[in-house]
Structure 1
Amino acid sequence: MMTSRGEISRGGDWLAMRAPAKVNLTLHVLGRRDDGYHALESLVVFAGTGDDLTFSPGDRLDLAVSGPRAGGIGHGADNLVLKAAEALAALVPGLALGRFHLIKRLPVASGIGGGSADAAAALRLLAAHNGIARDDARLVAAARATGADVPVCLASKARMMRGAGEDLGPVLALPPLFAVLVNPGVAVETATVFRGLGLKPGDGWGGEPHPDLAAAACGVAQARASLQAALAGGRNDLERPAQAIAPVIDEALALLRGAESCWLARMSGSGATVFGLFDDGRGAAAARQTIAARCPDWWVKATVLR
């Protein structure tokens, strides 16, 4: 079963959709709020690669997991697919539930929002089955109750994400980006990475403000050059503490930076997945082949980010 990015397919009594990987092209830490959460500013895009989720109506909520990365996640109540479904059921009396089947392809605890994307896909499928509009406030509330990255994954469209994930900007019409995603096979715990910043509640972080994306999102011919300039002025403030936990992130970044036609390499989210952006699809495919041959145990994918 394959579905296009963000689209729901139907067949018989089932619904299915792709849960695309989330990539943070930038991730600026503004400080730590009094409630303990870190305030962020991040440009988020979505990849062509991802997990796949199928929903079939049934008398009770259930989840089956298969696929090459199925061994890295739980099937029980702590799975975000089930958490999202339960959160929506608590807000929508009489919500019709059923059985989910998750084909897990994305690495776990990898900074590309695999669990959040799965949860968002579950909410979209339940909404479609129950006739709930995509912009229904209960859908958004269930997403927020499930996890900080779940709301931005609901639409899986390029946009700015601020705060602790609750403040989403408008969808951005960015030009497509040819990319290679590399995960060196280590799981990095998000909370540990944030602790590495050493911020106490109320502390600010500083750093240069986020680059302006207006020119890159206006659809003009210069949009790609404007986006490249904006991204070059951005950063991921979680890179350094993540590298201290998993030094292999440096190796992955070095391989991407050494690839021909790679014009930016950076870590996504809290790691350990890194991405490289390329001039075209041919350059991305060549880099993927080279890195995969050199590091056969790593997860390496060429894709397009939008």
Structure 2
Amino acid sequence: MVAYAAPAKVNLTLHLLGKRGDGYHLLDSLVVFAGIGDQLQAAPAKTLSLEESGPGAGAMGAGEDNLVLRAARLLIETCDPRTRARIRLEKRLPIAAGLGGGSSDAAAALIALNRLWDCGLHAEDLQRLAAAVGADVPVCLHGRPTWVGGIGEILEAVEALPPAWFVLVNPGVSLSTASVFRARSGGFSEPSRWDRPPADAVALATWLAEGRNDLQAAACALEPGIPAVLDALTATPACLLARMSGSGATCFGLYAVESEARQAAALLGEARPDWWIRAAPLLTDPVERG
């Protein structure tokens, strides 16, 4: 059996630069990962199967739209292993929440099954499969702070990101990415890069405040719980920045140190026990999968 982590993806910025003729948006995003996520295990079996546990179990179904099974089937087509696999997935992240949970699960499946089946595929091969599975899977496979461009396939590693902590909050709702994109209006943004890496969490927050998430306004219009979350995060002591991640509805508060993040999470949990609230570190190094 092999086991791998599937950490939450957080879009610190998300700028939409334009729209292609096929409907896909061109983006510029600073993507990082948090020290919290799902857990995937795989063991040899006669048939391919997926068992889910945890709060989000079964929410994505087992059909063609399930990204883990899509990744497994593409790998089977590529390397034709002699066995199949029993995959067990513990869903700790909320579904359709802007944290890339399904994409991160699919990336973990590619890594785990490549090892389990001894396919011998290199990183470039796995990246090609990842792009065929879904737009967010390549960066989740990359598994480190990354500038993301194109429609998600252009990846550039970010160096020297300072330590920081998140408080991740979801108001208990799911949002369809497609519906958020349809609801968005207005023009497009310019790409954003820093001249030098920020020295600490305060400098990071200052730089981030110059950018935005171009989907946030549309998501807030669709789901009034998101502005409430953003206001609540902003009001916590020591919060450096509050912003929505991805297409929502999860938002993050950025904090300099663990104690400040855990205090904020505790305060929010007391005030809103109906919300999903977690404190987690920003992972500045490549994700430790196993």
TM-score range, shorter chain: over 0.9
Structure 1 residues 261 and 136: alpha-carbon distance in aligned structure 2, compared to 1, 3 A threshold: closer
Deviation, 1:133, is: 5.2
Deviation at 1:130, TM superposition (A): 3.1
Deviates more, 1:75-84 or 1:249-258: 75-84
Is the counterpart of residue 289 in structure 1 residue 270 in structure 2?
Answer: no
Instruction: Give the counterpart letter for 1:56 in structure 2.
Output: A
1:141 aligns with 2:114: no
1:270 aligned partner: 247
Assess, with a 3 A threshold, how the Cα gap between structure 1 residues 71 and 129 changes in structure 2: closer, same or farther: closer
The one of 180, 186, 189 equivalent to 1:207 is 189
Structure-1-length-normalised TM-score:
0.87
Counterpart Cα distance in 2 of 1:292 and 1:87: 41
Structure 1: distance between partners of 2:270 and 2:122:
44
| Aligned pairs for 1:1-306 within 5 A | 14-94=1-81, 96-132=83-119, 135-198=122-185, 205-210=187-192, 212-216=193-197, 222-306=199-283
Q: What is the identity, as a one-letter code, of the residue corresponding to 2:230? A: L
For residues 282 and 16 of structure 2, the distance between their equivalents in structure 1, rounded to whole angstroms, comes to 23
Cα deviation per residue 1:119-165 (whole Å; 9 max; x = unaligned)? Answer: 00000101122334574433112111110000100131101111111
Q: What 5-or-longer segments of structure 1 have no aligned partner?
A: 1-13, 200-204
- Provide Cα deviations, 1:35-94, integer angstroms capped at 9, x if missing partner: 210011000000111011000011211100111221423134431110111112222233
What's the offset of the Cα at 1:264?
A: 0.3
CA contact (8 A) 1:16 1:53 kept: yes
Q: Which amino acid aligns with 1:216?
A: P
Distance 1:151 1:253 in 2: 28
Q: Partner amino acid for 1:57?
A: P
Q: Which moved more, 1:190-199 or 1:28-37?
A: 190-199
**Which digits, 9 at most, give the CA deviation of each residue in 1:214-271, with x for residues without a partner?**
5217xxxx35454233212111000000001001100000000000000100000000
How big is the shift at 1:33? Answer: 1.0
Asked which structure has the greater RCO (Cα within 8 Å, sep 6+), the reply is 2
Alignment RMSD = 1.7
CA distance in 2, matches of 1:117, 1:64: 17
TM-score by length of 2: 0.92
Moved segments of 4+, more than 6 Å: none
Match of 1:3 in 2: none
Q: How far apart are the structure 1 equivalents of 2:58 and 2:22? A: 34
Q: Distance in 1 between matches of 2:119 and 2:126?
A: 8
Partners of 2:42 and 2:105 lie apart in 1 by 12
Unaligned segments of structure 2, at least 5 residues: 284-290
Q: Which residue of 1 aligns with 2:288?
A: none
Over the matched positions of the two proteins, sequence identity in percent amounts to: 48
Which secondary structure state, in structure 2, belongs to the residue aligned with residue 16 of structure 1?
strand
Measured after TM superposition, the shift of residue 273 of structure 1 is 0.2
Distance 2:232 2:185 in 1: 29
Residues 151-206 of structure 1 deviation map (CA, whole Å, 9 limit, x = unaligned): 1001311011111111111243312221100000111100010111247xxxxx33
2-structure distance, mates of 1:97, 1:161: 33
Q: How many residues are matched?
A: 283
